[in-house]
Amino acid sequence: MKKLLYVFLIPAALIIITGCSKSDSGAKGPDREFFNRNINGEITVSAFDTMNYRNYLEEAARAFEQLHPGTKINIETFSAMPEVRTGGSGNMQMQSIQIQNDPQARSDYLSRLNTNLMSGTGADIYAMDIIPLQKFVESGNLENLESYLNLDPDFNMNEYRQNIFNASKYSGGLWFLPMDYSFNYFAYDSTLIPANIASAFGAGKSFNTGDLLKMGIPLYDGSYRLFNTTDFDRGLNGMFSQLFNENYEEFVNLSAGRAYFQNGDFAALLSSVREYGQQGYIPRAVTGQQDAGRLMRQAAEAPRDRFYFKLNNNFSLATQYMRSTGRMVMMFTGGSVIGIEDDDKVAGIQANADGSIPFRFNNGFGINSQSKNKELAWAFIKFLLSKEMQLSTNLNAMGLPVHNEARAEKSEMTFSGSLYGMSSALNEQSRQSLREYMSEMEGLSDLINSYSVRDTNITDMVIQDVQFFIDGSRSADEAARVLQNKADLYLSE
């Protein structure tokens, strides 16, 4: 009998307010002597997101201090822990993680952070969880880490996914280092997609949502929906989210400080997504607060719907190949609907509308350019990138370690179940599935070449104003006009 573990993640929107002072203290970077200095003293690591960061950082801090007597790593996190619900019986275990949207807490954290930076008393390392990268780069508050990687004789770039580090560069520098990475890919139901279309899919391919809609709409006959993605969902999930994020640079140019919501394209996007739902191409979202208990019951009832296409993440790719282990681990977020997966195959990795292929991260860190102990700060970040810490079970299970050996070992831990405390030996069939998964995952990872910089204050504006369109109180043009005014005001500050 299959052992089932369901994990539900319902993400919240983020609001960010920044106002850092201009600084160029980190512009010169380290010299070679920098890496020969003694590691001692005390630093502070600051993160807003408690769930993703606290346990991981505290584990790393204690281990680092044991390796380097005379050092002290202080950890600060600020957000409230999310509500976790568990349920199930027998071999089925289910967990729902309800992340609360707390804009005031985020605002308070960033206000405190900005005040400390302006007074020169900020933390030495910042988690890049809610920090607006472009604003902190423009203000000179982040150290350029590119020279650290290139000059440190103890750092071997060959041990890591270099394309992830290269994709993280922004505005002429590398201002943070991700500990892990994630990507989305499209799956297709091989029983629904004709062979002449399916021949364009597979390893090494990339598509955006618009590409697949163009392929799928002529095939639609009302029997099955095109995507398992709902039209509009709270927290910028669903089909609107997919299309908005893939076309983000069309609406917001952060480097130029300009927004383009009122040129007709944004209103057209809103209208198109509504039409997709009305035509039955995609499911209609349930408005209002998602009920975690209802989602858990829906998963347990094993829906039998088929969808031409699904937008999945790299964790879903692992579960696709894990069927041979007799264990199933499922994870989905708001904005998606569970359906039959037995006949799914990989269509290609998700790309942006301009063809770039982005990644996301769960844990990433930058060094305060005003830190008075950059030697220790860099040594600690290097330790976080070590194989030991990359294999920590406190590092988000959904991400892929940037350390190559750690990524391979974590994949085996996922297949054996040891990552979830359900360990069992892998037979030859399971090992073959693991090898096939690793080949597919690494092949898709090879295509990643960008990191999509977003301003979550703009994102929150979009979430808020789209709701007025959804409930019918504003037309698409009115929603675009109001959003344009808000974005112009914010970007001009």
Domain-by-domain residue ranges, the chain? 3-181+359-450
DSSP 293-333: HHHHHHHHT-----EEEEEEEHHHHHHHHGGGGTEEEEEEE
How far is it, in rounded angstroms, from Cα 377 to Cα 413?
A: 30
Measured CA to CA in angstroms, residue 454 lies from 127, 172, 249, 358 at distances of 16, 17, 9, 12
Q: Cα separation of 77 and 54, whole Å?
A: 6
Residues 86 and 94 sit within 8 Å (Cβ to Cβ)? yes
**Position 431: which residue type?**
R
CB 47 within 8 A of CB 76: yes
- Count other Cβ atoms within 10 Å, centred on residue 321: 22
Do residues 283 and 466 lie in contact, with contact meaning Cβ atoms separated by under 8 Å? no
Type of residue found at 389: M
- What is the per-residue pLDDT for 285? 78
Instruction: Give the Cα separation of 229 and 239 in Å (integer).
Output: 6
Tokens matching residue 429: 């069939």
- Three-class secondary structure of residue 128 per DSSP: coil
Query: What value does the mean pLDDT of the chain take?
Result: 85
Scanning the structure block, which residue is given the tokens 């000179």?
140
Amino acid at 459: T
How many helical (H) and strand (E) elements, i.e. helices and strands, does the chain have? 18, 20
Residue whose tokens read 């890591």:
160
Question: Residue 176's closest CA among 185, 184, 167?
Answer: 167
Q: Pairing between strand 184-189 and 344-350?
A: antiparallel
Contacts of 196 (CB under 8 A, 6+ apart): none
% residues pLDDT > 90 (the chain): 60
Q: What tens digit of pLDDT does each residue of 339-379 get?
A: 888 899 999 999 999 999 999 999 999 999 999 999 999 99
In the predicted structure, residue 315 carries a pLDDT above the cut 70: yes
The Cα–Cα gap between 128 and 376 comes to 19
> Are 261 and 474 a contacting pair, CB within 8 Å?
no
The pLDDT score that the predictor gives to residue 225 is 95
Is the model more confident about 487 or about 105? 487
Q: What digits encode the pLDDT tens for the residues 175-228?
A: 999 999 999 999 999 999 999 999 999 988 999 999 999 999 999 999 999 999
Residue 11: per-residue pLDDT? 40
Q: What is the tens place of the pLDDT at every residue in 10-58?
A: 343 332 223 333 444 445 679 878 988 889 999 999 999 888 899 999 9
User: Rounded to a whole number, what is the distance in angstroms from the first to the last CA of the chain?
Assistant: 59
- Phi, psi angles (nearest 5°) of residue 347: -90, -40
- DSSP string for 72-125: EEEEEE-SPPPEEEEE--TTEEEEEEE----HHHHHHHHHHHHHHHHHT---SE
pTM for this model (two decimals): 0.87
Q: Kindly state the average pLDDT of the residues 267-282.
A: 96
Are the CB atoms for 107 and 78 separated by under 8 Å? no
Q: Residue 55 contacts by C-beta under 8 Å, 6 or more apart in sequence?
A: 394
> Right CATH number for 3-181+359-450 from 3.40.50.720, 3.90.980.10, 3.40.50.180, 3.40.190.10?
3.40.190.10
Task: List, for residues 130-166, the tens digit of each pLDDT value.
Answer: 888 988 999 999 999 999 999 999 999 999 999 999 9
CA 475 to CA 481: how far, in whole Å? 10
CB atoms near residue 371 (< 10 Å): 21
The pair of structure tokens assigned to 54 is: 């606290």
Residue 481, φ and ψ in degrees, nearest 5? -65, -45
